[in-house]
Amino acid sequence: MRRMTNRLPLLAVLVLASSLPLLAAGGSSVPTTDPADQAAEAYNTGIQHRDKAWELESQAESSSDAGQRSKLEARAQKEYGKAIRAFRSATESDPDMHQAFSSLGYALRKTGDYEASLTAYNRALALEPSYAEAIEYRAEAFLGLDRLEEVKGAYMELFRDDRERADELMAAMQKWVDQRRADPQGLGTEAIEEFSLWVEERSQVAGNTAGLQSSPDRAW
């Protein structure tokens, strides 16, 4: 389930918001054909649907009624679907908008489409290789596919460059270990325990160096 601290950055929105069309006298938007404006508008729409999905997921987590929880989760999935369409529209209008590709990857991953998610994250990182958000979330997609060596590589990169994101990935890795121990899903016990040991060792290292500051040059 999503961690509420994982909200995606809105830098692209903040940068482009000033170029969005002004309201006409009647209160309706003036149509725009500028690709940057269209991308920003689509991105904003995607963010709204993603946030709605988060709200529904939060309600589902706190619901004690299984039927109600199932309905809320289904509604959240529909919102992610709407977010996917909006983020794709943003990337079509502005193929260089790495934030939109990263957000598209996130929404795709939340619907279980890991391969398409990786494609979107890879595009975001091709445009902005140091974009820590995409590095961390792509690693969570790798976790979903049990691609553990790539998860390790992502964690070490984040541990070096962005300790906050590294901590988020650590939490996801620990959750993965707990879930796979309960339900291996075809993955061998030896592989799970080997990864668990690595996670435990890295967690201890992180705890011993918790006083160190991560790089101030964040990617957003």
Per-residue pLDDT at 185: 87
Per-residue pLDDT at 216: 46
Residue closest to 128 by CA, chosen among 156, 99, 93: 99
Per-residue pLDDT at 174: 97
CB 20 within 8 A of CB 40: yes
Residue closest to 164 by CA, chosen among 155, 173, 177: 155
Query: What is the SS3 assignment for 209?
Result: coil
| pLDDT(205) > 50 | yes
Per-residue pLDDT at 31: 53
Q: Which residue has the higher pLDDT, 28 or 73?
A: 73
Mean pLDDT for the stretch of residues 126-135: 97
Among the residue ranges 46-50, 109-113, 129-133, 213-217, the one predicted with the least confidence is 213-217
Mean pLDDT for the stretch of residues 116-135: 97
Mean pLDDT for the stretch of residues 141-163: 96
Give strand pairing partners of 29.
23
Mean pLDDT for the stretch of residues 146-171: 97
pLDDT band at 171 (very low <50, low <70, confident <90, very high): very high
